[in-house]
Structure 1
Amino acid sequence: MEETNKVGSRIRMYRERLGITQEELAERAGLDVAFIKDVEEGRTYPAVGMLIKLSRALGKRLGTFTDDIEVKDPLITKASKKEEEGSKGKSHYHYFPLGKGKIDRSMDPMFIRIDPACGEKLSSHEGEEFIMVLSGKIELTYGKEKHTLGPGDTVYYNSLVPHKVSAADNRPAEILAVIYVPF
């Protein structure tokens, strides 16, 4: 299975196991069917909010689509060993999962590099998110509010409120994000 299409292949596999069509999955997840087709064919890598919607619609936890192997506690990810997951060249977000392999986890920690000019839409999903800015500046759109955060700043919010995280000042930013989605 090609790395860049692993998520799409797994989404297709679980959709087919449920015996539902792409149209039915799109309806359950509240997403466009063309988006589902692009994800399954590896033409696009879903942003975290979209991946959460897909995982909920399929009755799976978020990490089901990105994990490869099971590891024992404690799970340690050395800085030099973290690997980008699937978004290479297909998104303004570059995801580096930090909980990969811990199959009994309740949270999904990620290092995320955000390129400037991020055109992502607002996202909304069950759960909570915690973000710490590591470098650069981000702009958080949370409902109708906009907040700018710099290195060391943190934010913790309810993910049901429509939100978007983007790089500010037309420069890249790096964040640590911890996402909790109730199952």
Structure 2
Amino acid sequence: MDDTSAALTAVLDQVGTRLKRVRTQRRITLTALADTTGISKSTLSRLENGQRRPTLELLLALSQAYRVPLDDLVGAPEVGDPRVRLRPGRVKGRAVIPLTRQPDGMQVWKIVIPTNTVDPEPRGHDGHEWIYVLSGHMRLVLGDQDWVLGPGEIAEFDTQVPHWFGSTGNEPAEILSIFARPGERMNLRTPPPQAKLSSRALNDR
């Protein structure tokens, strides 16, 4: 085995421990994680116990669920490069690109929503989220409310409220998703558990 293969094996051997630590820190059960990611409970358990090697598809789904960069799940070494390494992947049919690398700070994602992502599956979890529509139109379901957002519009909401966002079925949409966990410092005042929507330039606020 050459040095590169040995290093890769060493990194993969630690992934299960990292996955279990992240889940435990967030107080998420395997059952809840399976519901969020669509990965079976048995597969998640085997990943954490080192009985199954992680694939990129599985890691991307977990990266999105935990809201941490992929590099932090696999323990990739720092390379001294200030540029964010964009590694697009697919989570539940969506193209997802992490734009931040801080594991404990605010997380930013660019998400491309295809036209076939149309069936709402609202779920709630701790945190606060902002969504900014870059192009196309997206549908946002929040509690018992249902909106369509277009380019330049923003949604801001408490993620404890069951929510889902996807396609209107007419065109793909590109969005920025900014997520903060409970207790993190924010520049904006946390609103009550409902969405605040704005116009393109926030002129209607």
TM range (shorter): 0.5 to 0.7
CA distance in 1: counterparts of 2:18 and 2:180, whole angstroms: 21
Classify the secondary structure of the residue corresponding to 1:46: helix
1:49-95 deviation per Cα after TM superposition (whole angstroms, max 9, x unaligned): 7x13xxxxxxxx7333377344779x555xxx73304x2xx622211
CA separation of 1:110 and 1:71: change in aligned 2, threshold 3 A: farther
CA distance in 2: counterparts of 1:153 and 1:96, whole angstroms: 20
1:116 alignment partner in structure 2: 115
CA distance in 2: counterparts of 1:72 and 1:37, whole angstroms: 37
Deviation of 1:145 (Å): 0.6
Note the residue ranges of structure 2 that are not aligned, 5 or more in a row.
1-7, 48-53, 184-205
CA separation of 1:151 and 1:47: change in aligned 2, threshold 3 A: farther
CA separation of 1:176 and 1:30: change in aligned 2, threshold 3 A: closer
- TM-score of the aligned structures, taking structure 2 as reference length: 0.59
| Runs of 4+ residues deviating >2 angstroms | 12-18, 29-49, 61-73
CA separation of 1:152 and 1:13: change in aligned 2, threshold 3 A: same
- State the percentage of identical aligned residues: 23
CA distance in 1: counterparts of 2:110 and 2:92, whole angstroms: 15
CA distance in 2: counterparts of 1:62 and 1:38, whole angstroms: 20
**Higher relative contact order, structure no. (Cα contacts within 8 Å, ≥ 6 residues apart):** 1
Deviation of 1:25 (Å): 4.1
1:46 alignment partner in structure 2: 61
1:8-43 deviation per Cα after TM superposition (whole angstroms, max 9, x unaligned): x83x3335679x9xxx9414x464596234454546
Give the aligned length.
154
2:50 is the counterpart of 1:14: no
CA separation of 1:112 and 1:69: change in aligned 2, threshold 3 A: farther
CA distance in 2: counterparts of 1:107 and 1:97, whole angstroms: 11
Which residue identity does 1:35 align to in structure 2? S
Note the residue ranges of structure 1 that are not aligned, 5 or more in a row.
53-60
CA separation of 1:47 and 1:147: change in aligned 2, threshold 3 A: farther
CA separation of 1:99 and 1:167: change in aligned 2, threshold 3 A: same
